[in-house]
């Protein structure tokens, strides 16, 4: 299973794609702009052949771009997300993800 997800059906089909992608990272909610989520999905997909965490992350982000739901990331996926975010210049996001919950 690729992370657990709680469904939130508060948007119509036409609004999806404009909504932020909602992540649960270690019990903290992180909202990704759809453009950021697409960049991260593409970066994760490019590493998918070398990393199962990157493959899983790519699939989760793809799901989040098309369905309004909170996506719970496992530890390996969260670490991969932080590394990829840093690598593509999303430094604020990378530090937010890398900072442990209080």
3-state secondary structure of 76: helix
Is the torsion defined by CA of 38, 16, 56, 83 positive or negative? positive
What is the distance between the alpha carbons of residues 45 and 13, in angstroms, rounded to a whole number?
Answer: 25
Say how far apart CA 81 and CA 68 lie, in whole Å: 19
Q: CB atoms < 10 A from the CB of 81, how many?
A: 28
Question: What is the value of pTM for the model shown?
Answer: 0.79
pLDDT tens for each residue of the chain, 102 residues long: 344 344 444 444 445 458 899 999 989 999 999 999 999 999 999 999 999 999 999 999 999 999 989 999 999 999 999 999 999 999 999 998 887 665
Q: Could you write out the three-class secondary structure of 42-54?
A: HHHHHCCCCCHHH
């Amino acid at each position: 299973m690729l992370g657990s997800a709680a469904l939130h059906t508060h948007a119509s089909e036409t609004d999806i794609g404009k909504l932020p992608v909602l992540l649960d990272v270690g019990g903290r909610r992180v909202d990704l702009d759809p453009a950021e989520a697409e960049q991260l999905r593409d970066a994760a997909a490019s590493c998918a052949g070398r990393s199962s965490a990157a493959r899983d992350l790519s699939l989760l982000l793809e799901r989040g771009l098309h369905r309004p739901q909170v996506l719970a990331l496992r530890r390996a996926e969260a670490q991969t997300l932080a590394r990829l975010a840093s690598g593509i210049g999303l430094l604020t996001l990378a530090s937010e993800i890398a900072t442990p919950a209080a």
